[in-house]
């Protein structure tokens, strides 16, 4: 099975998953892991509404000549409901797009080509020699891995079973853990020279045994054909990657290969990812919540507006079109020692882009579609991590091509209908009536209206972008008077997704 390099693993945010589920199996085993009311009294239209049952989804065009969002005052919605052991608290002001017309379009996945790879290389690594990843680290690299490994022991992380882990990590340090002898993973190095350390003694031994230099093999920067076999684990078959791929490293001034470029382009066009990182080994960023109040990044001279301009120019350079800035967060470097103050660590801007459909942005949600017995198909998004040196982290996942318009102004349900559906469906999805498991409190603090890619059920290669409502927030459990937060975070993982067209619930994991 084709494996990503250890450094590529380390510099991967939670949203930037390893290209195929088969290649993520060791990581998975380790983690175990308003639309307001439409006017009730309208004159009968001279022509009947246009109805499309394309993809099995009924779409009616709004022919009343009034805004689909008419009557929405955007007040803060408040409510508190308890059923059995579950309490639902709602306190959120609905977030609406700038346009009142809700479009519905058809789309299809698009593959990355060599032209994409060339543009990415020119944008990020112009004039530098590319090398194929080396499984053996130099002495300097292992020393940095040792520093990072010890720094991670200071963090409140999911890997330690903490219930108070950061919202998300811009750089995924699980690669370091999965390569250590103590992790018990299938890729354990067993303490060989150049291996990542798992303890202080292992670290010192690894440093002493690591070579001062390694022989790098030049890479052409060309996509190459990859055909992986399927992987069976615990009776489940994970499809191997079939398509083209590029895994390359480069040195951009740190004396070792600090840059990683990984590109996947599957034959089906569903498993497509570009990921670039230009970070020191010890650089791991924790992300802030998307509060919308980001002003400036600590220790960065570049302003947020300048970062936005750089990000847009980067999108143009790599050929990523039709996307809009959806969310801005701050990334903060984790402390490397006990003497480092978390409140003074340097930051970077974290920008997320999603597809814009006629003025309605796609909602940023970190859940990825993995239909049963089918190939994983992540939702489209672009991520950039930016500081004064430029773009130090970039990923482009699952590009799409628009193939047609079903309706430019679809008829949608009233916000009241949506909220009634949400309250009813929420308790069906999150019912808990076993007192021994304690009481559960869910708080909805963000309600959004945006677009989502959906697959027609039982139609594997048929996709639409439709308007949906998403509900985000937090959850906690109280057992014997002790309250703990759930590791599963719902700040960027919707509790429920409801179609604005007909009020049906959509399973983001399945994609329909």
Q: Quick: pLDDT tens for 203-221.
A: 566 788 888 888 889 999 9
- Mean pLDDT highest for which of 36-45, 147-156, 280-289, 502-511? 502-511
Are 124 and 261 in contact, with CB atoms under 8 Å apart? yes
CA–CA distance, 418 with 92 (Å, rounded to integer)? 14
Q: What percent of the chain has pLDDT over 70?
A: 73
Tokens, residue 211: 């070579």
Q: What is the average pLDDT across 236-248? A: 89
Nearest to 89 by CA among 424, 441, 426: 441
Which CATH architecture group holds 79-108+404-506? Answer: Beta Barrel (2.40)
CA–CA distance, 252 with 260 (Å, rounded to integer)? 10
Domain boundaries, the chain: 6-31+111-228+241-398, 79-108+404-506
- Mean pLDDT highest for which of 116-120, 163-167, 292-296, 442-446? 116-120
CA–CA distance, 210 with 202 (Å, rounded to integer)? 12
Q: What is the pTM of this model?
A: 0.81
Which band of pLDDT confidence, cut at 50, 70 and 90, is reported for residue 14? Answer: very low
Query: What is the β-pairing status of strands 482-485 and 224-227?
Result: unpaired
CB neighbour burial string for 37-68, b if at least 16 within 10 angstroms, e if fewer: ebeeeeeeeeeeeeeeebbebebbbbbbeebb
pLDDT at 348 > cutoff 70: yes
Question: What single DSSP character describes residue 319?
Answer: T
Half-sphere exposure of 28 (CA within 13 A, CB side): 11
User: What is the predicted pLDDT for the residue at 279?
Assistant: 87
CA–CA distance, 125 with 249 (Å, rounded to integer)? 10
pLDDT at 497 > cutoff 60: yes
Higher pLDDT, 17 or 489: 489
Which band of pLDDT confidence, cut at 50, 70 and 90, is reported for residue 488? Answer: low
Which are the contacts of 268, defined by CB distance < 8 A and separation ≥ 6? Answer: 109, 242, 243, 375
pLDDT at 201 > cutoff 50: yes
Q: What is the average pLDDT across 95-101? A: 89
User: What is the predicted pLDDT for the residue at 74?
Assistant: 61
- DSSP-derived 3-state class of residue 120: helix
User: What is the predicted pLDDT for the residue at 138?
Assistant: 86
How big is the CA angle at 132 (ends 128 and 134), to the nearest 5 degrees?
Answer: 115
CA–CA distance, 9 with 255 (Å, rounded to integer)? 20
Least confident of 2-6, 17-21, 479-483: 17-21
Are 37 and 68 in contact, with CB atoms under 8 Å apart? no
pLDDT at 400 > cutoff 90: yes
How confident is the model over 25-69, as pLDDT tens digits? 222 222 222 222 222 233 333 333 333 444 456 677 765 554 556
Q: What is the mean pLDDT of the chain?
A: 78
CA–CA distance, 478 with 310 (Å, rounded to integer)? 46
User: What is the predicted pLDDT for the residue at 364?
Assistant: 95
Report CA torsion sign: 386, 356, 404, 59.
positive
User: What is the predicted pLDDT for the residue at 57?
Assistant: 67
How many of the other CB atoms lie within 10 Å of CB of 267? 15
DSSP symbols for 16-33: S--SSTGGGHHHHHHHT-
Which band of pLDDT confidence, cut at 50, 70 and 90, is reported for residue 231? Answer: confident
Query: What is the β-pairing status of strands 86-92 and 439-455?
Result: parallel
Which band of pLDDT confidence, cut at 50, 70 and 90, is reported for residue 482? Answer: confident
User: What is the predicted pLDDT for the residue at 44?
Assistant: 31
Higher pLDDT, 467 or 51: 467
CA–CA distance, 421 with 471 (Å, rounded to integer)? 12
How confident is the model over 258-290, as pLDDT tens digits? 899 999 999 999 999 999 999 888 888 887 766
Query: What is the β-pairing status of strands 381-387 and 272-278?
Result: unpaired
| C-alpha to C-alpha distances, 505 to 111, 294, 343, nearest whole angstrom | 29, 32, 41
User: What is the predicted pLDDT for the residue at 403?
Assistant: 94
Q: What percent of the chain has pLDDT over 90?
A: 47
Q: What is the average pLDDT across 439-459? A: 90
CA–CA distance, 411 with 103 (Å, rounded to integer)? 9
pLDDT at 304 > cutoff 70: yes
How confident is the model over 322-334, as pLDDT tens digits? 999 999 988 889 8
CA–CA distance, 413 with 463 (Å, rounded to integer)? 22
Q: What is the average pLDDT across 406-424? A: 92
Higher pLDDT, 75 or 146: 146
Least confident of 93-97, 184-188, 402-406: 184-188
Higher pLDDT, 394 or 185: 394
User: What is the predicted pLDDT for the residue at 438?
Assistant: 87
């Amino acid at each position: 099975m084709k494996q990503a390099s250890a450094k590529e693993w380390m510099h991967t945010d939670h949203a930037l998953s390893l290209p195929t589920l088969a290649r993520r199996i060791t990581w998975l085993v380790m983690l175990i892991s308003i639309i307001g009311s439409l006017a009730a009294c309208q004159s009968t239209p001279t022509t009947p509404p246009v109805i499309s049952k394309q993809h099995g989804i009924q779409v009616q065009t709004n022919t009343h000549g009034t805004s689909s969002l008419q009557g929405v005052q955007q007040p803060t919605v408040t409510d508190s409901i308890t059923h059995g052991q579950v309490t639902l608290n709602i306190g959120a002001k609905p977030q609406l797009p700038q346009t009142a017309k809700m479009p519905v379009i058809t789309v299809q996945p698009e593959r990355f080509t060599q032209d994409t790879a060339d543009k990415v290389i020119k944008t990020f690594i112009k004039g530098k020699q590319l090398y194929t990843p080396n499984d053996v680290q130099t002495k300097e690299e292992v020393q940095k891995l040792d520093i990072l490994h010890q720094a991670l022991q200071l963090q409140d992380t999911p890997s330690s079973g903490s219930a108070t882990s950061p919202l998300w990590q811009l750089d995924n340090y699980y690669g370091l853990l999965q390569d250590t002898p103590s992790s018990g993973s299938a890729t354990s190095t067993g303490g060989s020279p150049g291996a990542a350390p798992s303890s202080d003694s292992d670290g010192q031994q690894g440093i002493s045994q690591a070579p001062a230099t390694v022989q790098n093999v030049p890479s052409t920067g060309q996509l190459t054909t990859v055909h992986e076999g399927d992987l069976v684990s615990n009776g489940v078959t994970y499809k191997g990657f079939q398509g083209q791929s590029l895994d390359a490293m480069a040195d951009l001034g740190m004396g070792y290969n600090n840059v990683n470029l990984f590109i996947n382009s599957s034959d089906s066009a569903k498993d497509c990812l570009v990921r670039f990182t230009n970070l020191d080994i010890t650089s791991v960023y924790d992300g802030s919540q998307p509060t919308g109040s980001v002003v400036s990044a600590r220790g960065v001279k570049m302003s947020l507006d300048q970062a936005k301009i750089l990000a847009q120019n980067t999108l143009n350079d790599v050929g990523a079109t039709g996307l809009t800035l959806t969310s801005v967060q701050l990334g903060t470097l984790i402390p490397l020692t006990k003497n480092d103050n978390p409140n003074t660590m340097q930051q970077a801007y974290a920008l997320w882009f999603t597809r814009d459909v006629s003025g309605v942005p796609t909602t940023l949600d970190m859940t990825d579609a993995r239909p049963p017995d089918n190939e994983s198909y992540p939702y489209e998004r672009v991520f950039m991590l930016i500081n004064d040196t430029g773009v130090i982290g970039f990923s482009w996942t699952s590009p799409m091509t628009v193939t047609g318009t079903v309706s430019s102004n679809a008829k949608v349900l009233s916000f009241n209908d949506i909220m009634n559906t949400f309250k009813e469906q929420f308790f069906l999805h999150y019912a808990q009536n076993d007192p021994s498991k304690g009481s559960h409190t869910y708080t909805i603090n963000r309600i959004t209206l945006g677009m989502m890619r959906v697959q027609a059920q039982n139609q594997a290669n048929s996709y639409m972008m439709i308007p949906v409502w998403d509900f985000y927030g937090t959850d906690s459990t109280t057992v014997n008077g002790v309250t703990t937060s759930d590791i599963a975070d719902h700040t960027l993982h919707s509790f429920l997704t409801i179609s604005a067209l007909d009020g049906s619930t959509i399973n983001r994991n399945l994609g329909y």
